[in-house]
Amino acid sequence: METVMTNCKDCRTHLPDLLLDDAYTTAHPEFKEHLAACAACRTELAELRSTFALLDEWKAPEISPYFDVRLKVRLREAVAAPPEGLWERTRSFFLFSTGRQLRPALACALAFVLLIGGGGTFANFYHAANSMPPVADSATVNDLKIMDNNVQAEQQLNQLLDDSTPSANDGAAVPTT
């Protein structure tokens, strides 16, 4: 009888098959053998199973009904905002651009700054780049937030009412056809 003893590497490669296809071990009994013999692979499979079970239970939270409106308002505000000054633009360029082609030059400049001015100059620059002012919500966004809270409160109230009067007006509300 020729049974190739499966090793751990093979087994780990086929863990998704073993996890998702219940009939897989029937077609490939060598994995069943290996799992029976190897505690490490058995644990790995069990852990994967429990993770998947957890993911099945998980429900994505419902997004706020005002999400789109609020996003559009913010975008419109950003477009309508006055253009940033030179310093602001330079700062966001260094903060957010990948700036691949600039990196060697920047590294040289920083090394130079460190050589000449010691750590203090760099520390000041670094501090300035990291202390961005917080973005304040506009009146519109605040209004939308309040409306959102109101809707949530109303939903909770309705739920409470539904729970306390389970079928108060059944019968009466059913249309006759």
Segment contacting Zn ion (CB under 5 A): 36-44, 80-88, 121-129, 141-149?
Answer: 36-44
95 binding Zn ion? (CB under 5 A): no
Question: At what angle are helices 103-130 and 86-96 packed, to 10 degrees?
Answer: 110
Instruction: Pick between residue 33 and residue 77 the one whose CB is nearest to Zn ion.
Output: 33
Instruction: Pick between residue 12 and residue 91 the one whose CB is nearest to Zn ion.
Output: 12
What is each CA distance from 84 to 87, 88, 89, 90, in whole angstroms? 8, 6, 6, 10
151 binding Zn ion? (CB under 5 A): no
What is each CA distance from 168 to 58, 131, 147, 154, 160, in whole angstroms? 33, 58, 29, 19, 14
- Distance CA(61)–CA(63), nearest Å, equals 6
38 binding Zn ion? (CB under 5 A): yes
The answer for residues whose C-beta is within 8 angstroms of residue 17's C-beta and 6 or more apart is: 24
Segment contacting Zn ion (CB under 5 A): 6-14, 82-90, 99-107, 128-136?
Answer: 6-14
8 binding Zn ion? (CB under 5 A): yes
CB of 53 to Zn ion, least distance (A): 22
Q: Which of 18, 31, 41, 44 binds Zn ion (CB under 5 A)?
A: 41
What is the binding site for Zn ion (CB under 5 A)? Answer: 8, 11, 38, 41
